[in-house]
Amino acid sequence: MKKKMVLVLAGMMAVSTAFAVPAAADGVTLNVTTTYAGEDSNAQNYKDSVAAWEEETGNKVEDSSATSDEAFKSRIIMDFEAGSEPDVLFFFNGVDANQFVEQGKVVSIDEIREAYPDYAGNMKDDLLGASPVDGVNYSVPVNGYWEGMFVNKQVLEEADVEVPTADMTWDEFLAECEAIKGAGYTPIAASLQEIPHYWFEYAIYNFQSAETHNTVPESVDDEYGQAWVSGLNDIKALYEAGYFPENTLTATDAETFQLFTGDKAAFLIDGSWKIGGIAEAVDDIENFTVVNVPGKGDRKTTDEIGGLSMGYYITRKAWDDEEKRDAAVSFVSFMTSDEVVSKFAGVSATALKEGASPDTSEFNALQIDAIDYTASFTGISPAVQDNLSAAAREPIFADMASIVNGDVDAADAVAAVLEANAE
Amino acid sequence: MSANIYKHKKLIWVFLLPAFLFMLVYLYYPFVQNILNSFQHIKYMGTAGGEWNTPWYVNYTKLLSDVKMRIALKNTVITIAATIIGQVGIALLLSLLVSNIKLGAGFFRTVYFFPIVISATALGLLFNLIFLYDKGMVNQLLQFAGYLDRESNELIDWKSKHAMFTMLTPVIWQYVGFYFVILLTGLSGIPAELYEAATIDGSTKRQMVRYITLPLLRNSIGTCVILAVTGALKVFDLPWTMFVNGMSNTWLTGTYMYSKVYSDVDYASSIAVFIVILGVVLSAAVNRIFRQNDDFEV
């Protein structure tokens, strides 16, 4: 009986070991994390490209992509700390990556080029997005982003107001919001509780210019610090005027997005990646457009936020693994090839030497409007929040409810951010 | 063999050692390290503390002046009170009712116990939909009943105006069944002869509960209260799923500690130490109140 038991247990162990072998039978399995998930416009393109690479190489991808938010960023940092980082990751090239760059857990492009001279050879090196830690390039970007104001035309029509134009002033925008509110609709779809990022950027941009926006203040009293305070107070004014959804301090981003796509809210400030999400959520994409975010002060309405903020990293763990090194380089090279980048780029900028060549014949009405929108830019600045770590951002982003409620003074919140940033 | 095993005391240590080592590595060592971490400056989660804080106890003085920590503490005390009254109280009531019926007792036992097998995260998502602002179940029912005006789509933001109620409702609901089963087991141990004698003496049902059931259930109730208090101190997943980042000032000590882990590691360690101290003090207090009494043991 005992012998039988031993045999059974040994058999079970052998079977479980067989199933636990991670690598594909005739290839390598790469663990990959990206932000091409959820409502990202390129979520499907990413799946298709991964499948194409798998078929071409016989390798496999264990994908753990997720929507880009603070939780995603924290998860990546935790994975690195726990030693369970992916082999390849598509991540931010700003301060968010400082921790694992400082710890030498990702491989620089120069080091990769010593073994693979053609690596990222199709990209302009000065646009790759050097790390703030040491000015060295670690990541290979795919496509850039811009942020703009998406508009639900049906809501505007029913509120009897015009679609904002490139010369709309801030005061005219406020007048439109008042009219929309008066007609029984929510003027601005935004979850200040979960995603206050876009409004933070544009609100403080309104007190700066394309040249100065990407500057972290040294103190709350300098001109940049005061711009941040004034911007936050503008968000507070919008909240007090009732232009955000009634539950903006408790709603999720998904809930407010549903207000917008469900013809209950007029405006949504979001990124270029949202085009796909909107197209998927609505029946009539022609009912939606994207326009410049109304500006004031030195910021023209046509000065927008945009840039190349993310790229593919190869981790030191994968690089030091003889089996995975080739596959990781092959994967990143494939995903950043001219053909794939052109497919992902759509209406956004790239770092390609030859430029992207997207197939515009298949563009929907919103994508075509987005081409006009990007053509209107007179100035572009990266998002200044990318210069701050998650910990430094917290006093504003996690506490926006307290700021607009008046529980926390905007100047105190900015001071807390700067203090955390200095640590 | 069976007799010899008691003679060889050393053998006992062989069996105890793996469990002890496991506890040492995964409980005691991290616990001591966490105390040390609370006095050190730690830049990133998972990295070792480099230098001692200046002054070394700065995180503990920060605890005293931290407004959010005060909110978390106040909410935790409310949660403890709500779990004692809500969970143990309702469980007691239900167990008394179920113990008095024969038909369907098994059915009710299963129904009340069922929420425990659902993961807290799934429950959180479920209650998010129930208390959803627009088209949520509760708001729709209130509109249907005429309490809210359907024409103007009048709605209640449950996560704002009634945040603590919204958060504690599923927390209480989930664990009622757990205490219900413990108390029902306690009730089944009370000899039927006592009730028969009381009936002959002309006692009413209420008198039997007051003078027989409750005194004899004292130890079971004490166990439930201790579990409820320590459970309330640890509750995290369901509140975090419904009220991420302490939305509407719903911080609990557990959720506040977690939120600080990514931005201020050593401060989060000091909150963890505080939670342990609070847990030990409260458990000791409850133990004292419900000290085991053999006179009433069932």
Contact A249 B247 (CB under 8 A): yes
Residue B52 resides in a domain = no
Of all residues in chain B, the percent with pLDDT exceeding 90 is 63
> Token pair for residue A307?
């840039």
Question: pLDDT tens across A192-223, in order?
Answer: 999 999 999 999 999 999 999 999 999 999 99
Of all residues in chain A, the percent with pLDDT exceeding 90 is 70
Q: If you search the block for the tokens 């990143």, which residue do you land on?
A: A332
> A-side interface with B, Cβ within 8 Å?
74, 77-78, 80-82, 99, 193-194, 246-247, 249-251, 255, 258-259, 390-391, 394, 398, 401, 420
Contact B45 A193 (CB under 8 A): no
Q: Contacts for B76-79 with beta carbons within 8 Å, 24 or more apart?
A: B76/B232, B76/B233, B76/B252, B76/B253, B76/B278, B78/B164, B78/B168, B79/B168, B79/B171, B79/B232, B79/B235, B79/B252
Give residue B298's pLDDT.
47
Residue B27 resides in a domain = no
Choice between A389 and A347, residue whose per-residue pLDDT is larger? A389
Nearest C-alpha of chain B: how many angstroms from A398? 7
Does the N-terminal peptide bond of residue A294 adopt cis geometry, omega within 30 degrees of 0? no
Contact A74 B262 (CB under 8 A): yes
Give residue A39's pLDDT.
74
Residue B17 resides in a domain = no
Nearest C-alpha of chain A: how many angstroms from B87? 27
CA distance linking residue B206 with residue A363, whole number of Å: 75
CA distance linking residue B77 with residue B83, whole number of Å: 10
E strands within A45-189? 60-63, 88-92, 145-152, 186-188
CA distance linking residue A74 with residue A397, whole number of Å: 14
Residue B28 resides in a domain = no
Give residue A21's pLDDT.
42
What lies within 8 Å, CB to CB, of A372 at 6+ separation is: none
Give residue B59's pLDDT.
95
Q: Exposed/middle/buried for A399, CB within 10 Å: 0-12, 13-18, 19+?
A: buried
CA distance linking residue A163 with residue A150, whole number of Å: 10
Q: Which residues of A touch B134 (CB under 8 A)?
A: 247, 255, 258-259
C-beta separation of B280 from A419 below 8 A: no
Reply yes or no on whether the pLDDT at A37 is more than 50.
Answer: yes
C-beta separation of B194 from B280 below 8 A: no
Q: Which residues of B touch A255 (CB under 8 A)?
A: 132-134
In degrees rounded to 5, what are phi and psi of residue B294? -65, -25
C-alpha separations of A267 from A231, A271, A374, B153 in Å: 18, 13, 18, 21
* pLDDT classification of A22: cutoffs 50, 70, 90: very low
CA distance linking residue B206 with residue B192, whole number of Å: 16
| Residue B41 CB neighbour total at 10 angstroms | 16
C-beta separation of A60 from A32 below 8 A: no
Between chain A and chain B, how many beta carbons pairs sit less than 8 Å apart?
52
Cα–Cα nearest to A24, from A327, A321, A313, A335: A327
Q: Contacts for A402-409 with beta carbons within 8 Å, 24 or more apart?
A: A403/A232, A403/A235, A403/A236, A404/A192, A404/A235, A404/A236, A404/A239, A404/A240, A404/A249, A405/A249, A406/A236
Q: Taking all residues of chain B, what is their mean pLDDT, rounded to a whole number?
A: 89
Q: Taking all residues of chain A, what is their mean pLDDT, rounded to a whole number?
A: 90
C-beta separation of B229 from B286 below 8 A: yes
Residue from A250, A408, A419 whose CB has the most chain B CBs within 10 Å, to mutate: A250
Reply yes or no on whether the pLDDT at B295 is more than 70.
Answer: no
Q: Among the listed ranges A151-155, A233-237, B178-182, which one has the minimum average pLDDT value? A: B178-182
C-beta separation of B120 from B128 below 8 A: no
Domain of B204?
A: 57-289
ipTM > 0.95 (yes/no): no
Residue type, A104: G
Q: Exposed/middle/buried for A192, CB within 10 Å: 0-12, 13-18, 19+?
A: buried
Give residue A20's pLDDT.
45
Q: What secondary structure letter does DSSP report for A33?
A: E
Residue B67 resides in a domain = yes
C-beta separation of A253 from A273 below 8 A: no
Reply yes or no on whether the pLDDT at B1 is more than 60.
Answer: no
Choice between A76 and A25, residue whose per-residue pLDDT is larger? A76
Q: Exposed/middle/buried for A228, CB within 10 Å: 0-12, 13-18, 19+?
A: buried
Contact B263 A251 (CB under 8 A): no
Q: Which residues of A touch B264 (CB under 8 A)?
A: 391
Helix ranges restricted to H, A184-321:
197-205, 223-240, 253-261, 274-281, 316-319
* CATH code (residue B95): 1.10.3720.10
* pLDDT classification of A17: cutoffs 50, 70, 90: very low
Residue B185 resides in a domain = yes
Reply yes or no on whether the pLDDT at A155 is more than 90.
Answer: yes
Nearest C-alpha of chain A: how many angstroms from B230? 28
C-beta separation of A71 from A90 below 8 A: no
> Token pair for residue B284?
């000791």
Contact B262 A391 (CB under 8 A): yes
Cα–Cα nearest to A382, from A210, A133, A182, A172: A210
Query: How much is the average pLDDT of A246-265?
Result: 95
Give residue A6's pLDDT.
54
Residue B125 resides in a domain = yes
Q: Which residues of B touch A250 (CB under 8 A)?
A: 133, 157, 159-160, 163, 247-248
Question: pLDDT tens across A54-84, in order?
Answer: 999 999 999 999 887 777 887 888 888 888 9
For chain A, what is the radius of gyration of the CA atoms?
23
Question: pLDDT tens across A361-375, in order?
Answer: 888 999 999 988 988
Question: pLDDT tens across B99-131, in order?
Answer: 888 888 888 888 888 888 899 999 999 999 999
Beta-ladder partners of A150:
A268, A290
What lies within 8 Å, CB to CB, of A226 at 6+ separation is: A207, A220
Give residue A361's pLDDT.
81
**CB-closest option in B247, B259, B263 to A250:** B247
Q: Among the listed ranges A337-341, B80-84, B150-154, which one has the minimum average pLDDT value? A: B150-154
> Token pair for residue A262?
């469900």
* DSSP-assigned states of every residue in B217-230: THHHHHHHHHHHHH
Residue from B41, B241, B247, B264 whose CB has the most chain A CBs within 10 Å, to mutate: B247
Residue B247 resides in a domain = yes
Task: Look at phi and psi of residue A115 and say left if phi exceeds 0, alpha if psi is from -120 to 50, else beta.
Answer: alpha
Give residue B3's pLDDT.
56
Give residue B85's pLDDT.
93
What lies within 8 Å, CB to CB, of A412 at 6+ separation is: none
Query: How much is the average pLDDT of A120-148?
Result: 90
Q: If you search the block for the tokens 């360690």, which residue do you land on?
A: B269
CA distance linking residue B286 with residue B81, whole number of Å: 12
CA distance linking residue B248 with residue A162, whole number of Å: 36
Contact A82 B46 (CB under 8 A): yes
Q: How many domains does chain B have?
A: 1
Give residue B104's pLDDT.
84
CA distance linking residue A325 with residue A316, whole number of Å: 9
Beta-ladder partners of A307:
A145
C-alpha separations of A188 from A112, A154, A204, B162, B291 in Å: 46, 14, 17, 25, 58
Question: pLDDT tens across B204-263, in order?
Answer: 989 999 999 999 998 899 889 989 998 888 889 999 999 988 899 999 999 999 988 877
